[in-house]
Amino acid sequence: MLSQYTTVYEGGEGEIIVKKSRFIATVRPVKTEEEAIAFIAEMKKKYWDATHNCSAYVIGERFQIQRMSDDGEPQGTAGKPMLDVLMGEEIHDIAVVVTRYFGGTLLGTGGLVRAYSGAVKEGLANSIIITKYKGYKLEFTTDYTNLGKIQYILGQKKIQTLDTVYEDLVRMTVLVPEELISQVTAEIVEGTNGQVEPQMGDACYFADVAGEMMLWKE
């Protein structure tokens, strides 16, 4: 698992017009090449009357799969600049189709490159792009005497609390970023004089989506 990676939470659509040609970018999150291929086919069906439906997609934690298509545009003027935008933003598991309706004026090589890359940027601007961070669930049980100390430590590190159960003892589950797991564990043990020993749970990814903490099992 990567310590963090950027991906699409919710796809979107953006459009630019260059010399009367319409360039419509549609962005979609994808997990497999099959999903990407199906998405491209869906867009070609939706925009069946378009001049071109060019595409690019990147899949995998380490960008293992990278594909692009000029769909009839001069070689290297559409798919490659589209893919370059995705790679430049380091976005994983994403597919984009840029649909062109020809406006009657040839744009030339440079003009096409700028138009297709610009359309992708517009599509990304209208999508929800998030950065997922690797973390671990940390679980522990404490008495009420040590609870304040632990809450102070968690507050100082801005650690997110996932669950708290108040009974004779307090059971807590918190979400700790990978780079802080050793430090937070050590501070809780030290702060409670060894009375509380956190247990590391499952690894997961988390991200802030419109102010709400979201978790993904990986």
164: CB partners within 8 A, 6+ apart: 170, 171, 172, 173
Q: Which residues pair with 165 in a beta bridge?
A: 171
pLDDT, the chain, mean: 92
Q: What is the pLDDT of residue 151?
A: 93
> Tokens at residue 100, please?
């062109």
Cα–Cα dist 96/54, whole Å: 8
- Give me the domains of the chain, ranges plus CATH numbers: 4-126 (3.30.230.30), 133-217 (3.30.70.240)
Please determine, for residue 76, whether its predicted confidence score (pLDDT) is greater than 90: yes
Query: CB count, 10 Å around CB of 82?
Result: 27
Q: What is the pLDDT of residue 36?
A: 97
Most confident segment among 93-97, 143-147, 178-182: 93-97
User: Average pLDDT of 171-178?
Assistant: 92
> Tokens at residue 130, please?
């998030």
> Tokens at residue 147, please?
């609870």
Q: What is the pLDDT of residue 160?
A: 87
Please determine, for residue 69, whether its predicted confidence score (pLDDT) is greater than 80: yes
Give the tens place of pLDDT for each residue, 133-160: 999 999 999 999 999 999 999 999 889 8
- Confirm if 163 and 148 have CB atoms less than 8 A apart: no
Give the tens place of pLDDT for each residue, 102-145: 988 888 899 999 999 999 999 999 999 999 999 999 999 999 99
Query: CB count, 10 Å around CB of 64?
Result: 10
- Output the CA torsion sign for 12, 129, 115, 81: negative
Please determine, for residue 55, whether its predicted confidence score (pLDDT) is greater than 70: yes
Query: C-alpha dihedral over 176, 178, 184, 185, to 10 degrees?
Result: 100
